[in-house]
Amino acid sequence: MPVHPTPRPDGIHLGITPTCWTNDDFPLIGDDIPMEQCLSEIALAGFEGCSIGHTFPTDPDALTAAMHLRGLSVSEPWVSTYFTVPDGSARTARELLRVLEFLNRFNADGPPVRTTTIGVAEFGHSVHLQQLSLRSNKPEFTDEQWADLCEGLNKLGEIIAGQGFTLAYHPHMGTGVQTERDVDRLMRDTDPRHVGLLIDTGHLTWAGADLTALMERHRDRIAHVHLKNVRGGVRADRTLADGSFREYIEAGIFTVPGDSDGDIDFDTVLKVLGPGEAYRGWLVVEAEQDPRGGHPPLYYAQTAHAYLARALDPN
pLDDT per residue as tens digits for the range 94-126: 999 999 999 989 888 889 999 999 999 999 999
The segments of the chain whose pLDDT lies below 50 read 1-4
State how far Cα 55 lies from the chain centre: 17
Instruction: Compute the distance between CA of residue 222 and CA of residue 16 in angstroms, rounded to an integer.
Output: 18
3 state DSSP class of 189: helix
pLDDT number for residue 6: 66
Note the pLDDT of residue 293.
Answer: 79
- From residue 172, alpha-carbon distances to 116, 122, 129, 139, 180 in Å are 21, 9, 12, 11, 11
- Which pLDDT value is given to residue 88? 96
Residue 49 has phi, psi (to 5 degrees) of: -175, -175
**39 SS3 class:** helix
Q: How far apart are CA 50 and CA 72, in angstroms?
A: 7
Question: Got the DSSP string for 74-121?
Answer: E---EEEE-TTSTTHHHHHHHHHHHHHHHHHHHHHT--SS---EEEEE
Beta-strand relationship, 117-122 and 222-227 = unpaired
Q: Which sign does the torsion angle of CA 259, 264, 267, 271 carry? A: negative
Report the pLDDT value the prediction gives residue 110, as an integer from 0 to 100. 87
**Helix (DSSP H) and strand (DSSP E) numbers for the chain:** 11, 11
How far lies 177's CA from each of 57, 149, 224, 306, in Å?
30, 10, 17, 32
Residue 11 makes CB contacts below 8 A (sequence gap 6+) with: 276, 280, 281
- pTM of the complete model: 0.96
Measuring CA to CA, how many Å separate 169 from each of 119, 160, 225?
6, 13, 10
Would you list the DSSP string of 145-169? Answer: HHHHHHHHHHHHHHHHHHTT-EEEE
pLDDT of residue 2: 45
